[in-house]
Copies of this chain bind each other. A is one copy, B any other.
Amino acid sequence: MRNILNRNQNKAAEVRKLLASEKVMMVNIISSPGAGKTTLLECTCEEIGRDFRIGVIEGDITTDRDAQRLKKYDIPIVVINTEGGCHLDSHSISKVLGSFNLKDIDVLFVENVGNLICPSQFDLGETFKLALVSVAEGDDKPAKYPMLFREAEAVILNKTDLIPYTNFNIDKFRSDLRDINARVPLFEVSCTSGDNIKMWYDWIRMRLKSYLI
């Protein structure tokens, strides 16, 4: 296992160097299945796609369903099917980077395989990891799956429109998250209703501008 992680780390360093030289920001989006990664990408393409050139890598065990949902945005999309594998690794990312014209991309969103555990252990060479968690999963996820929340540069709590229909305790969620990562930016949004999503747009725009200088 240590060997696998070491080799992954070396290749990730290569990817990171390449992306930095091409001024491409790579965002590794990690969440449980069905937390809303693709829906986040849909609204982000819609909004951020006005000012920045977006590319997407879709990691999935099988099917290209998520990629199909993004086709309408006329952006370059590459699908990686892991065929049972529970995470993407830096070698699979490195292989598909050649399919993009990196000079024409500002931000490359990677939708990792839906899994709150294994993807956090594999550096893809990303600029940063984005953790996404849905209200419907319960307020105890940061405490129970701390690795991702420790590593993420930003956390999105999605599906806040469902709070009235669940026993989700937002104070508990916030305080558990703060115990693990005291300073991480937290965006409490609904990607479907649009509640509060502007905060995410503002943040990712600012992050992109500061990266592309």
Footprint of B on A, CB under 8 Å? 32-35, 60-63, 65, 84, 86, 113-118, 121, 134-138, 140-141, 143-147, 159, 161-162, 165-167, 192
Having A35-B137, A114-B145, one finds 11 other A-B pairs with CB under 8 Å, namely A32-B137, A33-B141, A63-B144, A86-B86, A113-B117, A114-B117, A115-B118, A118-B118, A134-B136, A162-B162, A162-B165
- How many copies the complex holds: the figure is 2
Query: In the complex, which residue of chain B has the Cβ closest to the Cβ of A35?
Result: B137
A162–B166 alpha-carbon span in the complex (Å):
9
Interface of A is mostly: loop
Query: In the complex, which residue of chain B has the Cβ closest to the Cβ of A138?
Result: B34
A146–B33 alpha-carbon span in the complex (Å):
13
From the candidates B60, B65, B141, B192, name the one contacting A167 in the complex (CB within 8 A).
Answer: B192
Indicate if the CB atoms of A86 and B117 lie closer than 8 Å: yes
Contacts of A33 in B (CB 8 A): 32, 116, 137-138, 141, 144-145
Q: Known contacts A161-B165, A162-B165: does B147 contact A84 (CB below 8 Å)?
A: yes
Indicate if the CB atoms of B165 and A134 lie closer than 8 Å: no
